[in-house]
Structure 1
């Protein structure tokens, strides 16, 4: 008992206890400040995405999560340092682990990088009709790793973002007014101007074909069997496919009713007796 109450020992224990208590208090303060800073920074990043409508909010939420994680990692290292833990080795281990995970997830990270680029530059948005990675459909969802399309036959197609970003992207919904190219053939013996007038009448009567800009109707080429007429009516993007699939049938019927023939491939066989 006498040794336990030794003044030197008591002083040492008191000093150790005070040092531990001080480190605990400082660690708690660092942790609380780190949580506060992390929350404020994350909220600031999210609000930045909400402030500008042309920027994707999902991307900023992702960035906010990454920044918050990095801040808390620094806080954790600082807290461990207060208790004498060698943080240099921890940082080295975390760095090596990050490299290893990065190598193991190369494909996933490439999709992530492509997703970030798609969300920043926004070549298309939800609701657009696009042709990308060999697939045509309506964009249902864009996330950090994939783009989800719905096709006209009601299939859901999930495409990795890296496949889209590295290829040509055709956004059919970007411009509100679209031109629809179609071609019709008339025989050489028929009156081309009459055919043009018939086609013009069909387009003028169609409810979804615009008069401004005016439809383009001109002879494009002369083939071996017929005169090929290029027709380009303009319509709202929402009616693009209605015009695409309804006008050809109407034009064919109108040309036939006007006495104009539509040439088709023919093979002539000449037989002779020697």
Structure 2
């Protein structure tokens, strides 16, 4: 077979052989770029995953997700480079890929928003699995954090799955992040009762409870002068895990102690004066 005869006169196998002979260097270069590029993409993505996993700031889910993004982005770069070896105009390909990415982004706007919010939650860590949170109308204990949704167990035992974008756009109150919490109790006493004695009794209750911390020390104070009562306040600090038990026990103990020493807890009253016609 000679190359002097017209290509149209050659058989298909001869045309293929001729094309391979004329483009052997481009083919070899493309294969080399493909092999080396895919190898480097795998190495770099694994390095990104290991580096992020080694840092306590990044969740393993985020490390896996971002390493996959890096790998696929490098694959696209390798593919475009290989095509350019054969004289393909990569500008049009890049423009088409950009258009596809924009269309997919618009179609999956809500989903991508959840993914972005999930990544931010996993990186910033406003809450972790096992912690209880309040976020707007959502309350519960975190069961699982995913890229799209977060699963919680409500305090009444019900299961709730929340899109990550809804959580990320709310002010998140983490009920378990800090080791200690402050509890405040306000008890109303009658105007005829002794404020000093009421404060003394509440302080004695706090000091007698082993769960109440001594640093910060308990505080008692007059919180308000209401229509039918004087508000006596008690502030104590306790371990976060003891908060509910301390809340319930001190509230019950305050009522029992005031009944025991004769301090009244009045209910709202209103005096009505009727004038004779």
Q: Which moved more, 1:67-76 or 1:140-149?
A: 140-149
- SS of structure 1 residue aligned to 2:152: strand
Alignment-derived partner of residue 116 in structure 1: 119
Residue 103 of structure 1 and its aligned partner are, at CA, apart by 1.1
C-alpha distance in structure 2 between counterparts of 1:244 and 1:43, whole Å:
50
Distance of 1:176 and 1:13 partners within structure 2:
74
1: CA distance, partners of 2:270 / 2:101: 69
TM-score normalised according to structure 1 size: 0.88
Partner residue, 2:195? 192
Q: Which runs of 5+ in 1 are unaligned?
A: none
1:52, 1:153 → 2: CA distance? 36
Matched, 1:178 2:163: no
Whether the 8 Å CA contact 2:198–2:232 is kept in 1: the answer is no
Cα 1:14/1:43, change in 2 over 3 Å: closer
Cα separation, 2, equivalents of 1:225 and 1:106: 56
CA distance, structure 2, for counterparts of residue 246 and residue 136 of structure 1: 24
Q: Separation in 2 of the partners of 1:6 and 1:145?
A: 62
Whether 2:161 is the aligned partner of 1:161: answer no
Q: How far does the alpha carbon of each residue in 1:155-199 deviate from its partner, in whole angstroms, 9 at most, with x for none? A: 222222222222212122222111012211111111112111221
Matched, 1:245 2:245: no
DSSP 3-state at the match of 2:36: helix
Question: How large is the RMSD of aligned CA atoms in angstroms?
Answer: 2.4
Residue 101 of structure 2 aligns to a residue in which SS?
A: helix
Equivalence for 2:39: 36
The 1-side partners of 2:266 and 2:208 are apart by 25
Give 5+ residue unaligned stretches, structure 2. none
Match of 1:54 among 49, 57, 62: 57
Aligned pair 1:215/2:218, yes or no? yes
Which of residues 144, 151, 155 in structure 1 aligns to 2:154?
151
Q: Is 252-261 or 141-150 further displaced after alignment?
A: 141-150
Question: So what's the TM-score if we normalise by structure 2?
Answer: 0.87
Q: 1 CA distance for matches of 2:86 and 2:113?
A: 39
Quick check: 1:64 aligned with 2:71?
no
Cα displacement (A) at 1:92: 1.7
